[in-house]
Amino acid sequence: MAKKYKILVIGNGGREHAIINQIKKSPLLDQIFCSSQNAGISQIADDFCDISPQNHEEIIRFCHNNKIDLVIIGPEQPLVEGLADSLQKANIKTFGPSKAAARLEGSKAFTKEICDKYDIATAKYQAFESEKPALEYLQKNTFPCVIKADGIAAGKGVIIAQNKNEAENAVKEIFGGKFGNAGASLIIEEFLEGVEASFFAICDGENACFLGTAGDHKKVGEGETGPNTGGMGTYSPSPFVNDQMQDEITQKMIKPTMQAMKDLGCPFVGILFAGLILTKNGPQLLEYNVRFGDPETQSLLPRLKTDLLSLIIAATEENLANKKVEFLEKSAVCVVMATKGYPDKYEKGSEIKNLQQAENCADDVIIFHAGTKIAGDKILANGGRVLCITALGDNFAEAKEKSYKAVNLIDWGEGFYRRDIASKAVNFKN
């Protein structure tokens, strides 16, 4: 009889809700705990520990006391801060890269150096640790260009500057503390034209298995306008990544990166998420993330046919070599509902109604909670990005129609959403 696993998931957003929702389907699951809750996770997780991911000792104590077999770390911050190292040192099986391997997301300059050394296609760049030389560099630069805070900034630390004035303001804002410690250094890189795509692989330190693609809408406004956000919606798979391109990305980006991490003595175990731009000269790497994307996960995982928990266990046991990942022959669209004012100032505490009717409006509609909480018999908004409404369909048009049908049934006066999510995918002609 196969071993049953007690799982602890770190994180309480839409991504973690989607991970828990998928793992609940696994015949290998005994119980699933979460480090903290939102209104959606509270309905499906078995229990909670309500411990900060920064409190490594308390998490370790909880794992030992509750006989946790495996910890899955959702967000990037605990990975960059070395939670996986602390857990493994305490002999607790963990899915997520070490602090050293998490530098792929924790430092854009580090990733660029890997690209240089291992011949991975990426935009030309310069790295800067202070304001003056960065501003001097801009005097001879061409525009548009891209200014990036070096560290992690919740998906918001990237500015596309159309001219010198915008670029100088971006440099001053970053070094002025707009993104906190993430902006202690920055990179300036060339602007590349093309369609963006997200590419996911699950890795065991030696092997990598393709785990799907997605497209993300980062801008707050329709038509890709306004400031960057953590993501206003996604679709999966990306119709712009064909089988030949998938193989090229695996061979020329994922595998060399895995080799680089091995060479540095920190083999990569976890999710390697490549943010790509598909140029006329082929795919180029924009950045790496070292975990499932949010909200990409909310459209990616509902399409997964293979047992997610079995893949994660195989990754932690260096046993992915013969694994094959299968997907449903469905398209997925995820629309994010956010609180008015996001990504700037917004108010928490507004009530959200009619969620059950919205989820029941069509087959294969799932509402993932991101920033919500329960107060008595009410569900309240408790963040910027609050709900992720995902639908599956036989094609993108059907999935989009079902997703927006559900969105339109949700009664939440303080919420807003983009109306053009997945339009590119719907209109794609092969």
DSSP state of 254: I
- The pLDDT profile of the chain, 430 residues, written as one tens digit per residue, is 678 999 999 999 999 999 999 999 999 999 999 999 999 999 999 999 999 999 999 999 999 999 999 999 999 999 999 999 999 999 999 999 999 999 999 999 999 999 999 999 999 999 999 999 999 999 989 999 999 999 887 767 888 999 999 999 999 999 999 898 888 999 999 999 999 999 999 999 999 999 999 999 999 999 999 988 999 999 999 999 999 999 999 999 999 999 999 999 999 999 999 999 999 999 999 999 999 999 999 999 999 999 999 999 999 999 999 898 999 999 999 999 999 999 999 999 999 999 999 999 999 999 999 999 999 999 999 999 999 999 999 999 999 999 999 999 999 999 999 999 999 999 998 6
pLDDT tens for 148-203 read 999 887 767 888 999 999 999 999 999 999 898 888 999 999 999 999 999 999 99
Alpha carbons 16 and 360: distance in angstroms, whole number: 22
CA dihedral 117, 290, 391, 306 (to 10 degrees): 90
- The token duo for 95 is 């899915």
CA dihedral sign, ordered 1, 310, 34, 104: positive
List beta partners, residue 338. 385, 416
Asked whether the beta carbons of 188 and 112 are under 8 A apart, the reply is: no
CA dihedral 379, 382, 384, 387 (to 10 degrees): -30
Q: Quick one: what percent of the chain has pLDDT higher than 90?
A: 93
Nearest alpha-carbon partner for 294 in 1, 2, 18, 4:
18
Asked whether the beta carbons of 145 and 164 are under 8 A apart, the reply is: no
CATH numbers and ranges of domains, the chain: 5-95 (3.40.50.20), 124-190 (3.30.1490.20), 193-316 (3.30.470.20), 331-427 (3.90.600.10)
pLDDT tens for 277-336 read 999 999 999 999 999 999 999 999 999 999 999 999 999 999 999 898 999 999 999 999
